[in-house]
Amino acid sequence: MHIGNLDFPVPVFLAPMAGVTDTAYRILAREMGCSLVYSEMVSDKGINYRNSHTLEMLHTERRERPLAMQLFGAEPESVARAAAYVENLGCADIIDFNMGCPAPKVVKNGEGSALMLDPDRAFRVLQALRAAVSLPVTVKMRKGWDETRVNVIELAKLAEQAGMDAIAVHGRTREQFYSGRADWKIIARVKQAVHIPVIANGDIRTCKDLADIFRETHCDAVMIGRAAQGNPWIFRRFREFLMTGSEAGEPTIEERASVILRHLDMLLACKGDYIGPREMRKHATWYTKGLPHGAELREQFNRAEKRADFVEILRRMQDTAIEALS
The residues carrying an active-site annotation are 101
The three-state secondary structure class of 124 is: helix
Measured CA to CA, the distance from residue 197 to residue 94 in angstroms comes to: 14
Cβ atoms < 10 Å from Cβ of 107: 18
Measured CA to CA, the distance from residue 212 to residue 189 in angstroms comes to: 16
CA angle 148, 150, 152 (to 5 degrees): 170
Closest listed residue to residue 205, CA positions, set 144, 247, 157, 262: 247
119 prior amide bond cis, ω within 30: no
Cβ atoms < 10 Å from Cβ of 143: 29
Closest listed residue to residue 169, CA positions, set 196, 135, 134, 205: 196
Measured CA to CA, the distance from residue 304 to residue 301 in angstroms comes to: 5
Measured CA to CA, the distance from residue 6 to residue 66 in angstroms comes to: 9
Backbone angles phi and psi of 201, in degrees to 5? -140, 135
Backbone angles phi and psi of 37, in degrees to 5? -110, 150
Measured CA to CA, the distance from residue 155 to residue 115 in angstroms comes to: 10
Residue pair 138/165 in contact by the 8 Å Cβ criterion: yes
Per-residue buried b or exposed e for 255-267, using 16+ beta carbons within 10 Å of the residue's own CB:
ebbebbbebbebb
